[in-house]
Homo-oligomer: A and B are copies of this chain.
Amino acid sequence: MRFRVNSTLTYQVTGPSTLIFSIHALRTVSQQVVKESLDITPGVKTDEFVSGSGESRFMRLVAPEKIDLLTVHYEATVVTHCTVIDAKDLERVPVQYLDHELISYLFPSRYCQSDKLARMAWTKFGSIGNAYERVVAITDWIYENVEYVSGTTDSTTSAYDIVTLGAGVCRDFAHLGIAFCRALNIPARYFTGYAYQLVPQDFHACFEAFIGDRWILFDATRLVPLNGMVRIASGRDAADAAVATIFGQAQWLSAEVSCETETKDFQPLTRAELGKRGVCLEVRP
């Protein structure tokens, strides 16, 4: 699939500030960034780097002084190659066989308190033998018990809060899915990206669970086809992969995001269509 993604973010900078963005499409074995451009007005110093954890092309922007209107515009053409695999026999990998680098995706994190949700996870999903079905059951439970309502949560809301609040946005759905998976000893990580057919258009978040021998995409919101995603970043949770983290005095003003396909006959793969098949967007060979 070939996508054209765009994001335009504006800020008011009232004093010296450094902003760290996660808006670039990631370059991976299954995702080529054919072309991209980044325009920042007024021009300021930036650098791009990878953080110590997760997978992300962070862009650091330094605003040395007051800027009434800082505009960050990113645009890219990205070709993704989803793998659709038969998931019906996929098993959870016992911790004893898990690859070393996956272990930290079993640990609780800021927004995914898997330790505090352990009993709930085991009670609700512990008896489901097949790993893939277990994670599907988790996403179904979230879909049925959490209402998608903008403005009910904020940047301090965590998976633990969502259970009782019963409302949230894509980020919250993802955090709860991750927390339940980790509680069940299934490595899980946060996925943030551009998403085709998301209404209204915005950045999107969902999650990946490591089952069998790979990371499989899950989205408890059911808002977009799983093969319509363009990966920006992965991480333990939104702390690792926030669209923008502000250090200093800057206020967010607006965001415009779009994701269009250039693929004719795009066949959306939703959970219903997939049945017992899973969608992967591999990062590493």
Contact of A51 among B104, B160, B166, B245 (CB under 8 A): B104
Closest chain-B Cβ to A132's Cβ sits at a distance in Å of 20
A51: B residues at CB distance < 8 A: 100-101, 103-104
Residues of B within 8 A of A62 (CB): 96
Size of interface on A: residues with Cβ below 8 Å to B: 51
CB-defined contacts of A248 to chain B, threshold 8 Å? 95
CB distance from A179 to the nearest CB of B (A): 10
Contact of A156 with B by CB under 8 A? yes
Give the contacts of A52-108 with B (CB-CB under 8 A): 52-54, 58, 60, 62, 94-96, 100-108
Knowing A52-B102, A96-B18, A166-B123, say if A113 contacts B116 (CB, 8 Å): no
Complex CA distance for A114 and B265, rounded to whole angstroms = 47
Within 8 A of B (CB), among A197-240: 236, 239-240
Q: Is the CB of A53 within 8 A of B104?
A: yes
Which chain A residues in 148-179 approach chain B with CB under 8 Å? 155-156, 160, 163-167
**Residues A103 and B58 in contact, CB atoms below 8 Å apart:** yes
With an 8 A cutoff between CB atoms, is A133 at the interface? no
Shortest distance in angstroms between A173's beta carbon and chain B's nearest beta carbon?
15
Query: Out of B49, B53, B123, B147, which one reaches A123, CB within 8 Å?
Result: B147
Residue of B nearest to A241 (CB): B107
Cβ-based interface call for A272 (8 A) = no
Bound-complex Cα distance A263 to B28 (A): 51
Which residues from B are CB-within-8-Å of A95?
A: 18, 20, 60, 247-248
A31 at the interface (CB under 8 A from B): no
Q: Which residues of chain B are within 8 angstroms of A139 by Cβ–Cβ distance?
A: none
Contact code string A108-128 (vs B, CB < 8 Å = 1, else 0): 111011011101100100000
Are A104 and B52 within 8 A (Cβ)? yes
Cβ proximity bits A241-267 to B, threshold 8 Å, 1 near / 0 not: 000010110000000000000000000
* Partner pick for A52 among B96, B103, B166, CB 8 A cutoff: B103
The 24 sampled A-B contact pairs (Cβ below 8 Å) are A18-B94, A20-B103, A49-B100, A49-B103, A51-B101, A52-B101, A52-B102, A52-B103, A53-B104, A54-B104, A58-B103, A60-B95, A108-B110, A108-B239, A109-B239, A110-B110, A115-B156, A116-B156, A116-B165, A120-B165, A123-B147, A123-B166, A163-B163, A164-B164
What are the 10 A-B residue pairs with the smallest beta carbon separation, nearest first? A49-B100, A18-B95, A95-B247, A107-B239, A52-B104, A62-B96, A52-B101, A108-B110, A18-B96, A53-B53
